[in-house]
Amino acid sequence: MPARFPSWAWVSGLTVGAVAAVTFLAVQADQGPHPTVSATARTPSAHPSSPKPSAPAAVPSGSGTGRRVVYSLSQKRVWLVDASDAARRTFAVWPGTVSPDPGTYEVGTRAEDPIRGSDGVQIERVVYFTREDGVSVAFSNAVDGSSPPPPAPGAKTGGIRLPKADGAAMWAFATAGTTVAVVG
């Protein structure tokens, strides 16, 4: 007759395994994506559907220290910076029509499942960090990986659209409480 383990032994084993898996994933997320520059880094042009390759710039001075997301309004670019102040990833973005003021913010709520963005496009991995002019400002990517359509005249959109792969990297990096430094 096979040996039987008590139910508490199974539960304990599963709990230890789950804690180990979560710890492993947390360490990986804290280290961020390993490439220092995406080989497919893109810069949005005047027409949002035709990004062009560009050489990534250094993390902007005056963006703080430590682990943070840095968003440059003028460069339309984001950096994921680790605790040692090294840029783990940088990529171009398509900003909405409402921009946050330069300053330091904190990631608040996040929404992983697809929702409809203010531009009508299905988006996912939404990372909210402030409100400006009555509009929520957040990083997100389109479910289908597309760039945002041109906004309707007078529309207020606070979404900062990321390429799909960069949206996944942002989601893994920018957990609740992560600092977001917005620079001019």
Is the pLDDT confidence value at 176 over 80?
yes
Is the pLDDT confidence value at 55 over 70?
no
Is the pLDDT confidence value at 106 over 50?
yes
Q: What is the pLDDT of residue 77?
A: 97
Q: Are 95 and 73 in contact (CB under 8 A)?
A: yes
Q: What is the pLDDT of residue 135?
A: 92
* More reliable by pLDDT, 35 or 85: 85
* Two tokens, residue 54: 């560009």
Grade residue 56 by pLDDT with cuts at 50, 70 and 90: low
Residue written as token pair 């220290």: 65
Q: What is the pLDDT of residue 54?
A: 53
Could you tell me which residues are beta bridge partners of residue 41?
Answer: none
Q: What is the pLDDT of residue 110?
A: 96
> Could you read off the pLDDT of 34-52 as tens digits, one per residue?
333 333 333 333 334 434 4
> In 10 A of CB 173, how many CB atoms?
23
Residue written as token pair 């893109």: 42
Cite the beta strand spans of the chain per DSSP E: 42-43, 52-53, 68-72, 77-81, 87-92, 103-106, 110-111, 115-116, 122-132, 135-142, 159-162, 179-183
pLDDT, averaged across the chain: 78
d(CA 12, CA 180): 39
d(CA 68, CA 81): 5
d(CA 137, CA 159): 6
